[in-house]
Amino acid sequence: MKLWFLPIILTLGFADPVLSQDFNPRKIYQKTSSAVVLITAFDRGQKSASTGTGSIIRKDGFILTNAHVVFNDESNEPFDSIRIFLKPDRVTGNLKKDTSRKFKATLVHYSNPMDLAILKIQDTQFSNALPLLELSDLKETSIGDPVLAIGHPEQGGLWTLTTGTISSLIENFEDVRGKDVFQTETSINKGNSGGPLIDRHGHMVGVNSMIARQGKGGLTITDVNFSIKSTVAMEWMRSVGYSHSYAMPQSKSQTPSPEKQTHTEEAGIVPVPTQPQEPTEIKPKLIQELPKEPEILTEVRPYKEKDLFDQVEDEMEDMMEEMKGRIRSR
């Protein structure tokens, strides 16, 4: 009898090595979270505002995010002002302390149909000094692979970690040619938009973009989230002149075919500061709240979006007082 059970015991000992050994959310978070930023975008006067997440893709301060994070649907133009918050050494739950590393940013390029945007931190102190996330070429990525997301879900914590798997691959999402996405069960909420979907190697495999919340008949949909594939982002960045500057994974990225490049040319790429194009048929969708709480592996430290924008408003008031002082001194 012992001889019959020995092979079974050995088999159980080697079960699922990828999930048990290679995928370590804690180590991946420690390696990558410092390259994830909090983004606030707003118009002067605080009439409209948006929050989201981004990933540093160059050490001198270039950031990849969703276009809808920095684009005002009401005015059909990008927001006037953008602020980037770098991760503190330790997230405490104190909003003022956790958002003390605040910098102005500029919108460099964006595409509404592709829902991608590139930002640049204006501060010159970051000369090849920032941490960055490497983009994966997806050669080793497939359905069933474990992944994690880092972001700032509203009513949740800043730099929050959630885990899940890749559920499906979808081409030409929302009928946009070349916009290929992953469907994932990794919990994503409002505030996670633009943040990274990360594989077990610590490489970004997607840009978290939108979530499905309600089906026919008003039925609630859960665990259906979409992330723009990193290869789509890489191709788009190459098309706007960033082929030699953004981070690459250790393995070489596949060169896109001419057909794929044509898809990108049709994606409505808009350089900044040129005047934005007329509204496209496909508008970016703002992520709405999940009806259930996400599976959060980091300690929950809830923040309120209003408190975050109150801090930005205080900054604007200080700027106005400074300008008045300069005028009086003339």
Residues marked as catalytic:
68, 115, 193
Q: Could you tell me the two tokens for 276?
A: 């934005």
Peptide bond into 276 cis (omega under 30): no
Distance CA 267, CA 88 (A): 36
Distance CA 70, CA 58 (A): 19
Q: Of 213, 170, 173, 172, give the one whose Cα is nearest residue 190.
A: 213
Single-letter residue type at 110 = Y
Positive or negative, the CA dihedral 212, 293, 289, 284 is negative
Could you give the 3-state DSSP secondary structure of residue 239? helix
Tell me the H-state helices in the chain.
Answer: 2-13, 17, 25-32, 67-70, 95-98, 230-239, 258-265, 305-329
| Bridge partners of residue 184, in order along the sequence | 166, 225
Could you give the 3-state DSSP secondary structure of residue 119? strand
| Residues in CB range of 286: below 8 A, 6 or more apart | 50, 68, 73, 190, 193
Positive or negative, the CA dihedral 23, 27, 32, 37 is positive
CA 116 vs CA 4, 205, 267: distances in Å: 57, 14, 10
Residue 23 DSSP symbol: -
Distance CA 297, CA 232 (A): 29
Q: Could you tell me the two tokens for 15?
A: 């079960």
